[in-house]
Amino acid sequence: MEVLAGVIAIVFALLCVVSAVADFTMASSVVDAVDRLGLPRPIIPLCGISKACGAIGLMMGFGNDSLRLFAALALVVYFIIAVGAHVRRRDSLRNTAPAVVFLVMGAATLVTSALVV
C-alpha cells in the first residue's frame, strides 16, 4: 500500500505542478475559465501558489507521512472549492471535468496516505 500511496502522490504532485505553471503563465484556458466563473483575474497566481505549495508538500511528505497527509487534505479542500465554483455557475461538464479529476486524484492521495500513516 505504501508504494501505491507514493505513486499516486507523485502523479498528483506532477499534475498540480503542470496546473500551477499554467496559472503562473496565465494560460488562455485558465484566464477563460476564471472569466467564465466570474472570478477576479488576480486570483490566478494565488491558485498557482496554492497548487505549487500542495505539490511541494506532497513531495516533502515522503520524509514525513503527516506532511503528505496534510498537503493532500489542503489540495482536496482547494479542489472541492474549485468544483463548487463550476457547479455554482452551472458550468458545462467539459469545463468542470478537470477540477473533478484533480479532486478525485486528491481524494485518492488522501485516502492512500491515511492508510499508510
Q: Where are the alpha helices (DSSP H) in the chain?
A: 2-24, 28-37, 43-60, 65-88, 93-116
How far apart are the C-alpha atoms of 82 and 107, rounded to whole Å? 14
pLDDT of residue 30: 97
Task: Assess contact for 8 and 114: CB atoms under 8 A.
Answer: no
Where are the domains positioned within the chain?
2-116
pLDDT of residue 65: 87
- The position carrying cell 500500500 is 1
Q: What is the mean pLDDT of residues 15-32?
A: 97
As given in the structure block, the three cell numbers for residue 20 are 500551477
pLDDT of residue 117: 76
pLDDT grade, residue 82 (50/70/90)? very high
pLDDT grade, residue 35 (50/70/90)? very high
Can you give the pTM of this predicted structure?
A: 0.94
pLDDT tens digits for 38-69?
A: 999 999 999 999 999 999 999 999 999 899 99
pLDDT grade, residue 77 (50/70/90)? very high
pLDDT of residue 19: 98
How far apart are the C-alpha atoms of 8 and 104, rounded to whole Å? 11
